[in-house]
Amino acid sequence: YGHQSITEHRILAFSDLQYSRKVSPRKLDFLLQEFQHAAKTYNIDYFFFLGDLINSLDEIKNHTKRAILIQWLRRLTQIAPLIMISG
């Protein structure tokens, strides 16, 4: 087989956010700051979300709640690319 190049990447893996009415925008901001700090400190290349983003589909039926979660995910991808697995 041909020559293969191996590139090292650093990932930050997390799961079980369980977004619900109990997860406030303030808590999301805190988590984002923690991820930003970790990404900078440890030179994170990718975020891996390993499942259980929401507690229930009912949680994202509300347009405002859904918009808050989507905006948070977008802000997270501005720090590092995000790979998500549904769970």
pLDDT in tens, 19-55: 888 888 899 999 999 999 999 999 999 999 998 888 8
Q: Give the N- to C-terminal CA distance of the chain in Å, as an integer.
A: 36
C-beta neighbour count of 66 within 10 angstroms: 14
Q: Sorting pLDDT into bands at 50, 70 and 90, what band is 2? A: low
Is the Cβ–Cβ distance between 60 and 66 less than 8 Å?
yes
pTM of the model: 0.84
Which candidate, 73, 78, 81, places its Cα nearest to that of 28? 73
